[in-house]
Amino acid sequence: MKKSLTRTLMALGSILSLFIIIGIVIWYWPAGDYGDFTVINEDGTIVYEYIETNGITLHVALSGPEDGEPVFLLHGYPDASFGWRDQIIALSEEGYRVIAPDQRGFNLSDKPKGLDNYTPENHANDILGLADHFGYDTFNIVGHDSGVVVCWNIVDKHEDRVDKMVTINTPHPKVLFEFQEANEEQRKKSQYAYFFRTPYIPEIALKFNDYALMSKSMEDSFTEEEINEYKRAWSQKGANTAMLNWYRNLFTQPETEVPNRVVDVPLLVIWGKQDPHMMWQQAEPSSKMSTKGSVAYIEEATHWVMRDTPDELNKLLLDFLKD
């Protein structure tokens, strides 16, 4: 009996050791050669600056006339500023001043260590700091995925600074928590977010086999060249942990800090109805978190509305901003 138990423990120890070794190898495996930065800015209409804000430095894409009405484009996970390229060009051509940062922890922006650096409040203050840097008392904000949470945290505490807001394929935080609690299907769709909260394992899994999991999830909406550009962003030193820290912090936010009041800012909720992660039924209740909320559905778009249906999205954005 003792020998059998000993052999079992030794076998388990060997398996665990093997997994640890494999994890260490993947963790420290050098990034691949994903080519040069060529996805956007081929005609020079977009410029990039490194701007200090809220104690860190953000890499920011800028386009359009400097005296144009400001529009901030806030990406989510696992995106970067270049994910907005079609919207940057469309908005700037119509005279808007577009500001699209790599949010903290992403791509070429700073990636401070420590979970506390990735609270929704910190992300919101980063954007407010950018607005202060450019001298904008008020501005428009457009968010996708976790960028939507940043938008709601900004408008919840600084409503007077937001002219208009657009959210894409992610609900209001209060709606997200309540809908997920009541809807088993959405809980199943959100399992990835709970996996992302665990330590170390997500970094190893996501980096494994040249970011195969994330690449596979994006291949229907992005070209190989574009996915390589994302791999370049994900392979920046410290990026995997920094990006995941967003999820690790989001679900630990005290209930008293989650935005939960109805605001008066004009709001457009846009939703691609083929999203495999976020159910479209959350769009309408999210729009009701503003007294001036409305909803627009795009039937054929997935979570990646910006890439699936850029022309339709751009028209919705411009019609709303000009109204």
Residue with tokens 């912090």: 249
Q: Which residues, at least 6 apart from 197, have a Cβ–Cβ distance to it below 8 Å?
A: 247, 248, 251
User: Which residue among the candidates 59, 75, 123, 303 is catalytic per the annotation?
Assistant: 303
User: Which residue among the candidates 145, 156, 275, 308 is catalytic per the annotation?
Assistant: 145
DSSP 8-class letter at 263: B
Cα-Cα-Cα-Cα dihedral sign, residues 112, 114, 119, 122: negative
User: Which residue among the candidates 75, 126, 247, 308 is catalytic per the annotation?
Assistant: 247
Query: What Rg, from alpha-carbon coordinates, does the chain have?
Result: 21
Residue with tokens 């050098």: 30
| 3-class DSSP assignment, residue 30 | coil
Q: Which long-range contacts (CB under 8 A, 24 or more apart) does 175-181 make?
A: 175/282, 175/285, 175/286, 175/289, 176/282, 177/258, 179/279, 179/281, 179/282, 179/285
| 3-class DSSP assignment, residue 296 | strand
172 is catalytic: no
Measure the CA–CA gap between 286 and 245, rounded to whole angstroms.
Answer: 25
145 is catalytic: yes
Q: How far is CA 22 from CA 10, 12, 15, 98, 231, in A?
A: 18, 15, 11, 43, 21
158 is catalytic: no
Which residues are identified as catalytic? 145, 247, 303
